[in-house]
Amino acid sequence: MPKPLVAGNWKMHFTVPEGLRVTEELLHHLHPYAQAVEVVLLPPAIMLWEVAHALQGSGILVGAQNAWWADQGPFTGEISPSMLAGWCHYLLIGHSERRQLFGETDEELNRKLKAGLKHHLEMILAVGETLEEHDAGRTEEVVTRQLRAALFGLEPAAAGHLSIAYEPIWAIGTGRAATPDYANSVMGMIRELLAGEFADAGQVRILYGGSVTAANAPSLMEQPNIHGALVGGASLKPEEFARIVQAAAKVQTTPA
């Protein structure tokens, strides 16, 4: 299993100067953990290049929050994986806000996944169920559908460049994180599904997302099926984000 991954999804926050100030602060706080944990910042596209530049040589990586699947063309407002290739390391796709507010489909995500991999980006695919689906006991069905459709037709080598973020929608921005046991059990199901898709499924990290804080990170990170976190609100606060990264580093360095 590769080292844990903690990604900070800034969503649509910060002006460019604010984002750069936060990056400087993060560099200061995250420096001690950059070896033990793969730390990725996902700033808005407008400041991605500047943040990447500011992080150069630190071991902390950048990723985009979204991209379209074509290399270029008449897609007003979009950016492409080929524009990110060579300097931006990660690409997040399928966040529930993209699915719900911008109508992204599983089929589109499959195209985006293939496009990102073609340009050698490390991909994070987000999946997760709504509250209604959760309450109706449909979590497994929904997550299975999302994964099967997005992963359809991928090359076996994709496993080495893929992470899955399980983000139950009811836990995002609500302050109501999934319990460690619940998250671990859904993520175990995801692990089994991946084993059926890839010979090398052990390479795929599975991250938990949804109201991760410095307070709940230790109990989440110590679950056997959780290999990192996709953090929203808490990633906007450098000290708190650093404590989440620290929790992941601690699990990594504590012998089982």
Q: How far is the CB of 212 from ligand 13P (least distance, A)?
A: 5
Q: How far apart are CA 14 and CA 160, in angstroms?
A: 32
Minimal distance, residue 217 CB to ligand 13P, in Å: 11
38 lines the binding site for ligand 13P (CB under 6 A): no
Smallest distance from ligand 13P to CB 90, Å: 13
Residues near ligand 13P (CB under 6 A), total: 14
9: contact with ligand 13P by CB under 6 A: yes
Q: Of 1, 12, 49, 6, whose CA–CA distance to 29 is shortest?
A: 6
Spell out the residues 6+ positions from residue 74 whose beta carbon is closer than 8 angstroms to its own: none
- Which two three-digit tokens encode residue 81? 């994986």
Q: Contact 41/13 with Cβ under 8 angstroms?
A: no
Could you tell me the two tokens for 153? Answer: 């037709």
Quickly list DSSP for 57-100: TSS-EEEES---SSSSSS-TT---HHHHTTT--EEEE--HHHHH
Contact stretch for ligand 13P (CB under 6 A) within 129-137, 138-146, 196-204, 207-215: 207-215
Binding track over 170-189 against ligand 13P, x by CB under 6 A = --xx----------------
Q: Which of 97, 122, 167, 240 is catalytic?
A: 167
Question: With respect to ligand 13P, which residue has the nearer C-beta, 47 or 217?
Answer: 217
Q: Does 89 bind ligand 13P (CB under 6 A)?
A: no
Instruction: Tell me which DSSP letter residue 47 carries.
Output: G
129 binds ligand 13P (CB under 6 A): no
95, 134, 161, 227: the catalytic one is: 95
Taking CB under 6 A as the binding criterion, the range among 56-64, 156-164, 195-203, 228-236 that sits at the site for ligand 13P is 228-236
Select the residue interacting with ligand 13P from 158, 193, 217, 231 (CB under 6 A): 231
Q: Which of residues 151-170 bind ligand 13P (CB under 6 A)?
A: 167
Cβ atoms within 10 Å of 57's Cβ, excluding its own:
5
Buried b (16+ CB within 10 A) or exposed e, 4-30: bbbbbbbbeebeeeebbebbeebbebb
167 is catalytic: yes
Hey, which residues does 124 pair with through a beta bridge? 92, 163
Out of 81, 94, 168, 209, the residue judged to bind ligand 13P by CB under 6 A: 209
Catalytic positions, written as ranges: 95, 167
Q: Which residues bind ligand 13P (CB under 6 A)?
A: 9, 95, 167, 172-173, 209-212, 230-234
